[in-house]
Amino acid sequence: MSVKEQTLAWLSELPDDSSAWTGLHEEARLLRAITVAEEDVRAGRERPLEEIKHLMEAKWDQRRSKSA
């Protein structure tokens, strides 16, 4: 039995109202987000923090000028 199959078997044994589901859900969501982020980095779809700061400042400056 693979690790995935064993894990799914254990999960299927948990009652639907088990408090463990919330923690498992959050951990799986975090691991999925990390995997996606790592793929973005490998594929060159990331930007340096300073560039993002500049883009966000420009965006908020534009919004402020429209509301004024």
Express as a percent the part of the chain with pLDDT over 90: 90
Task: Compute the C-alpha angle 57/38/58, nearest 5°.
Answer: 10
Cα(40)–Cα(45) distance, rounded to whole angstroms?
A: 5
Sign of CA dihedral 23, 17, 5, 32: negative
User: What pLDDT, on a 0 to 100 scale, did the predictor assign at position 25?
Assistant: 96
Mention every residue, 6+ apart, whose C-beta is less than 8 A from residue 55.
47
Structure tokens at 29: 């969501």
Please state the rounded mean pLDDT for residues 1-28: 96
pTM of the shown model: 0.60
Going by the DSSP 8-state scheme, the letter that residue 14 receives in this structure is S
Residue 68 pLDDT > 80:
no
